[in-house]
Structure 1
Amino acid sequence: MNTLSPNFRNVIVIGASAGGVEALVEVVRNLPPDLPAAVFVVQHLPARAKSNLPSILQSYTGMVVREATDGDPVQAGTIYLARPDRHLLVEGDRVGVAPGPPENRFRPAVDVLFRSAAYTYRERVIGVVLTGALSDGTSGMWMVKRCGGLAIVQDPEEASFPDMPLGVMQYTEVDHVSPLGQLGGLLGTLVRQPLVEARDI
């Protein structure tokens, strides 16, 4: 029932940093509760802090929200959240949680998630970069596009911290620059559009 179809863009990866909790709430609350996609989220978190993000987001959606556990099956209708001080990856049809070295000064890092999803699911990936300082997500989104996926950024003019969306826009041809309030609906539309053709790399 929750298996991902290979014929749709149904793997959504989202990266956020400063100002990200509020942005994620706005996105999640506007996602259709029957979204036929798996959603993976990296929000930069303090290494030793217990994250309240699962309970916060769960209160705004009918989807399943959970902190990722190594080996979890990738299922539609589920939002997987990175744990503090652990990278979140996609490895085949399983979720990966790994210590690994920090990237861009962060663990979890957006680039790690985006790269792993792009390598695994290629044109089925939709990458989303929200508000945040510095440049995490820039190279990862480039790889999403390189593998045939879609690139979406929050409109930097409304982002609390526009560095991350602007960094992506500087180095990658983005498909959509979206106001936060419209992002959930946009994702709900995109995941239901069949893939016309696979992109050869």
Structure 2
Amino acid sequence: MSAIITLAASAGGLEPLQRIVAAVPIPCRASIFIVMHVGAHDSVLPLILQASTRLPVSHATHDSPIEPSRIYVAPPDRHMRLRDGRIHLDRGPKVHFARPAADPLFISAAEAYGTRVVGVVLSGGDGDGAEGLRIIKEHGGLSLVQHPVEASSPGMPLAAFGADDPDACLPVAQIAERVAALCAEDASLVPAPGA
């Protein structure tokens, strides 16, 4: 069984995302899902990230099957949720003033995939991702947070600490190493913190 890796970023999160996707090995057993606060504006995020990896990167499409060795980016003005092996997009209410938002992705992934889920909160303002990361941990998944001192906008990492005690607070370089390791192995059970 492959890992479901979910990443959330906002202000200051682009460079961390680029470093993380650049570290992902080929082949990659995991499926990777990214939410960045882009609102309803046109987004070239998949093109930007594609320059850092050989994995295919694209905006997610509604009701498409989840496949390993792919990076899915939430499209503008759509929440991205996972269930029944498929991606679901919707224009539900904004969460933390954002659509797309991380919490809908994190919570749906935790409920559908439990211990296979890895949640990562990167640089950004406000508190998006904090509740979702708590739910991921509650369902036995792995919760990682970019160290607030390193984040150019530490609001999201600090909110994640306020909501629950994440499994690890790491600089981006170590998060990238952790994600790369999960992509390279059978992740039917997410490694324990510190493993």
- The two structures have a TM-score, normalised by structure 1, of 0.89
Q: 1:78 to 1:193 in 2, by over 3 A?
A: closer
Overall identity of the aligned pairs, in %: 39
Counterpart contact for 1:30–1:181, Cα < 8 Å: no
| 29-38 vs 143-152, which moves further | 29-38
Identify the residue that residue 109 of structure 2 maps to in structure 1: 117
Identify the residue that residue 148 of structure 2 maps to in structure 1: 156
Counterpart contact for 2:30–2:182, Cα < 8 Å: no
Counterpart contact for 1:32–1:185, Cα < 8 Å: no
Letter of the 1:84 partner, please give it: P
Count of residues paired in the alignment: 189
Compute the displacement of 1:195 (Å).
Answer: 4.5
For residues 189 and 59 of structure 2, what CA distance do their matches in structure 1 show? 33
Q: 1:106 to 1:99 in 2, by over 3 A?
A: same
Residue 14, structure 1, aligned to residue 7, structure 2: yes
Say which of 11, 23, 35 aligns to 2:28: 35
For residues 85 and 195 of structure 1, what CA distance do their matches in structure 2 show? 32
Matches within 5 A, 1:65-76: 65-76=57-68
Runs of 4 or more above 6 Å deviation: none
For residues 46 and 171 of structure 1, what CA distance do their matches in structure 2 show? 24
For residues 102 and 194 of structure 1, what CA distance do their matches in structure 2 show? 32
Unpaired segments ≥5 residues, structure 2: 191-195
Residue 190, structure 1, aligned to residue 182, structure 2: yes
Q: Deviations over 1:54-91 (max 9, x none)?
A: 11101110111010000111011000000111001102
Matches within 5 A, 1:73-92: 73-92=65-84
| 24-33 vs 80-89, which moves further | 24-33
